[in-house]
Amino acid sequence: MVRPANDSPLEVNCPQCAKRVPWLPESTYRPFCSKRCQLIDLGAWADESHRISGESAMDEADIETLLAQADKDAPLT
């Protein structure tokens, strides 16, 4: 982010195409420059092209164990 030296609005780079975007309420898709860039980014997260690095908090075996335990628990009334 670039801090303005005067009264000009703060500008950020669009995360998708790097075009400069003023950080104003009128900038509907901020930090993206357009709906197109916003949807491209969303699609990348949806198909898991973008992901947060690190190990998964739980592996498949842990999830299966928790689901099996939940099935054994008495139903809530």
- Degrees (nearest 5) of the Cα angle 34, 22, 29? 30
- Is there a binding annotation on residue 8? no
Give 40: exposed, middle or buried? Use CB within 10 Å, 0-12, 13-18, 19+.
middle
Residue 11 is given by DSSP the state E
Please tell me whether 35 is known to bind a ligand. no
Question: Is 50 annotated among the ligand-binding residues?
Answer: no
Query: Is 49 among the annotated ligand-binding positions?
Result: no
**Annotated binding site for Zn(2+): which residue ranges?**
14, 17, 33, 37
Annotated binding-site residues read 14, 17, 33, 37
